[in-house]
Amino acid sequence: MSNYEQIYQRSLDDPEGFWAEAAEGIDWYRKWDRVLDDDNAPFYHWFSGGELNTCYNAVDRHVENGRGEQAAIIYDSPVTDQQRSISYRELQSQVASFAGLLHQYGIAKGDRVIIYMPMVPEAAVAMLACARLGAIHSVVFGGFAARELATRIDDTRPKIIVSASCGIEPNRVISYKPLLDQAIEFSAHKPDHCIILQRPQVVAEMNKGRDVDWITAVAKAEPADCVPVAATDPLYILYTSGTTGEPKGVVRDNGGHAVAMKWSMQHVYGVEPGDVYWTASDLGWVVGHSYIVYGPLLNGSTTIIFEGKPVGTPDPGTFWRIISEHKVGVMFTAPTAFRAIKKEDPDGVYIKKYDLTKFRTLFLAGERCDPDTLFWAQDQLQVPVIDNWWQTETGWAIAANCMGIEPLEVKPGSPTKVVPGYNVQVLDEQGAEVTGGEIGTIVLKLPMPPGTLMTLWNADQRYIDAYLSQYPGYYLTGDAGYKDEDDYLWIMSRIDDVINVAGHRLSTGGMEEVLAFHPEVAECAVFGVADTLKGELPLGLVVLKSGSEIGVQALRKELIALVRERIGPVAAFKLVTPVQRLPKTRSGKILRGTMKKIADGSAWKMPATIDDTAILDEVTEALAGLGYPKS
């Protein structure tokens, strides 16, 4: 048996022994009573009875253990032309002071704090400060609109919202404060206070009595110490898209999460304490939570907070400049970032300008990694390029080529094999395992390993209904795919209405809800179409109410603006056109899958259940009007 196989098998045969050993990598105030607590199955708890503090493990202990002067965070912001290095000692002081400020404004263990921030180190400081107090943070991605923020405010009911005066996109400065004020206006729940980081690019207008200026207030705050919390207490809530417009609040615990993060840094990513590790993503996504903040800091590594884009800030050489200047050993990003670079610098001219000798591995995740992108990255960088598959719910990789265990042969298009701790199966509709390379629904046998979701915030039943009820005893990943004869996993598509736009997970159902809100729209369908840069783009077809006289151009403009206003620019919703009718099965189900195939130019069959086949001709014509399929 190979090293990987031995470790993998042990993780399944003796999960409690395996994870108890991994838990030695974390400092505990009190050791657990039970490694795996199944008393309340299917809600499993890891390390119950144990007590720890995630912030202590991510920051303070490294100062105590001699890493005080090592950089914890390097902030590199080409959009503001700034760089800043924050040592573990400085980070400890900043986090303790900010935790003191939160405490002064009433935050204690179990309270929720929403963080709506751009990619600045203060966002990580705010996350860690919550963890320090045992408060539960919920970071909301800056590219979401006020209404999306309002939904999250009503669901988490935060006492405090932490935000900044602005975020900086390459083409514009985005004032956050008006969005925040609007969200609070929309929401039924009102926070007691908002703590605002004033950035020099925009000075936010403060709401007297409610808003607190970060910089002046933190200077006067009494530093707060780490509060011991139960391993099973929530660390954070992170919302992700589901089938409907109502996002799901994934709840992560403290104990299992810390253990899984630390273990994965070394075993999946092959990163040691002291190494410089860079994830180019956003703190608002799970990749940012796990591998910009918690993973690298729990591991005593140096992390980079990058405020910029792979291209245009200022050129497609930014990634290579950062790798070379900060001596990055391992990098993690989404394939779309590499597609953007490849498009602008196909011959890698910018790559040759930098010394990349310290760089050893590139990890890609967040969407399917197309072999073209993988080959290009490998050829240009001359390092292993590792696809890894996971999702917000799991918090860390389900399948990967575990570089810290033993590199396995790469099969481009496959994220390699199942990571230790996970038991992945591919099932048919009846729940029987499919073999022989046939595509089925990918599920994870319960219990899942530490670090995976505990439940959905305030919605235990929704957690069961959405994930656990289709195949009792298994967690439904929402992905379809297969295992090949060598046990490599292949992730082919989603089985629900979730699409992946530039590595951002979005709900087409949510977009349909917005389109249906337009007064002229009777019915609509949104589905993902293939895009060479962003992987997928949403495309909407709308049926207008009878008698509607709105012009096509005006309609498009209004619908695009509506999605931007209600979901946010990140939806990248730009393709929409009216149709006379939508194709449906006799039972009334809209044939989104068939329309997607027509738009992608893939082979498709006339569904036997369709009630009028001429509708598909009309749809084909409408799609052609939008330029689909692409030639």
Residue located via tokens 């011959």: 347
| Amino acid (one-letter) located at 338 | F
391 near ligand COA, rule: CB under 6 A: no
- Shorter beta-carbon distance to ligand AMP: residue 94 or 500: 500
Task: Taking the CA atoms of 313, 314, 320 and 326 in sequence, report the sign of the dihedral they define.
Answer: negative
174 near ligand COA, rule: CB under 6 A: yes
Of 167-175, 261-269, 400-408, 522-530, the window that binds ligand COA (rule: CB under 6 A) is 167-175
DSSP states of 160-203 as a string? EEEEESEEEETTEEEEHHHHHHHHHHH-SS--SEEEEE-BTTBP
502 near ligand COA, rule: CB under 6 A: yes
Min. distance of Cβ 475 from ligand AMP in angstroms? 12
Q: Which does 502 bind (CB under 5 to 8 A by kind): ligand COA, ligand AMP, none?
A: ligand COA
- Kindly determine how many residues on this chain lie close enough to bind ligand COA according to the rule CB under 6 A: 23
309 near ligand COA, rule: CB under 6 A: yes
Reported for 151-155, long-range contacts at CB under 8 A and 24+ positions apart, including other chains, are 151/187, 151/246, 151/247, 152/114, 152/239, 152/247, 152/249, 153/114, 153/183, 153/184, 153/187, 153/189, 153/191, 154/187, 154/188, 154/189, 155/239, 155/247, 155/249, 155/457, 155/458
Residue located via tokens 């206003």: 565
498-501/504-507 β-pairing? antiparallel
316 near ligand COA, rule: CB under 6 A: no
169 near ligand COA, rule: CB under 6 A: yes
Query: How remote is the C-alpha of 566 from its chain's centroid?
Result: 20
- Shorter beta-carbon distance to ligand AMP: residue 180 or 397: 397
112-116/136-139 β-pairing? parallel
Min. distance of Cβ 488 from ligand AMP in angstroms? 12
Residue located via tokens 């939570």: 289
143 near ligand COA, rule: CB under 6 A: yes
Min. distance of Cβ 500 from ligand AMP in angstroms? 5
Min. distance of Cβ 291 from ligand COA in angstroms? 9
Of 17-25, 303-311, 313-321, 580-588, the window that binds ligand COA (rule: CB under 6 A) is 303-311
- Shorter beta-carbon distance to ligand AMP: residue 483 or 505: 505
Q: What's the burial of 357, exposed, middle or buried (CB within 10 Å: 0-12/13-18/19+)?
A: exposed
Q: Which does 479 bind (CB under 5 to 8 A by kind): ligand AMP, ligand COA, none?
A: ligand AMP
Instruction: Report which of 384, 367, 382, 291 is spatially closest to residue 533, judged by C-alpha positions.
Output: 367
Q: Which two tokens stand for residue 295?
A: 């993973």
| Amino acid (one-letter) located at 79 | V
Do the Cβ atoms of 174 and 121 come closer than 8 Å? no
Q: Among 310, 440, 447, 449, which residue sits at the site for ligand COA (rule: CB under 6 A)?
A: 310
Min. distance of Cβ 394 from ligand AMP in angstroms? 8
- Shorter beta-carbon distance to ligand COA: residue 4 or 390: 390
- Shorter beta-carbon distance to ligand COA: residue 96 or 399: 399
DSSP states of 205-247 as a string? PP-TTTEEEHHHHHHHPPP-PPPPEETTSEEEEEEE--SSSS-
Of 213-221, 347-355, 426-434, 498-506, the window that binds ligand COA (rule: CB under 6 A) is 498-506
- Shorter beta-carbon distance to ligand COA: residue 37 or 367: 367
Min. distance of Cβ 624 from ligand AMP in angstroms? 29
Which residues contact ligand COA (rule: CB under 6 A)?
Answer: 142-143, 167, 169, 174, 281-282, 285, 287, 309-311, 334, 336-337, 340, 366, 502-504, 569-570, 572
